[in-house]
Structure 1
């Protein structure tokens, strides 16, 4: 079994899921179905009665079409980062990351644009 993810300290998983749900303008029930989980399990996650394991989080991210690393970055609780420079960097990057994910994963954005943007990002990272 995969490790449980501590949602109460380093990652704000319930808040991040709710933020994505509201961005998608879905009811809690419809969002849970989109994520491939039951509405009651989603409610337990939101109320922090249940923790997710990494496998379940990965499946949710796949269903939401959001890379897990981007989800984790969005969920990162910057207040748990001890180094001031790293905390400042996270605060500066987060708004940019939100804009990038909004653009890449918007329903209005074509699959071709997503592929080209991803290819361009990968190419620039390795050159």
Structure 2
């Protein structure tokens, strides 16, 4: 009974807990990413899976674009693929948005086919990608 009460409280307060997130519907406690953030996440993950540097740097801040060469990106993507096995099935769940001055970061939880989980943080400045971190 206590678990159910806590779930109801969490669901009813989720729009207030997650500033830039919202419950999908009044009876659903799943959290959705703001549209722009989700599109950026999907694009970056596709770029990683396919090792596509041009897609990786599309709609990115100048510093993010110049931080790595195409070769270093492909090496990093290959290491991540080796570690996480991105070619196999994985799922991503949006967690929250963090705001710090002019930066905003979206956080997603990736669950790999083998059950391993990691967090992905994508930092934005003026709707452009400024950082990508695997936590």
TM-score by length of 1: 0.31
* Larger Rg, first or second structure (1 or 2): 2
Q: Which has the higher contact order (CA 8 A, sep 6+)?
A: 1
TM-score by length of 2: 0.29
Q: Which has the higher helix share?
A: 1
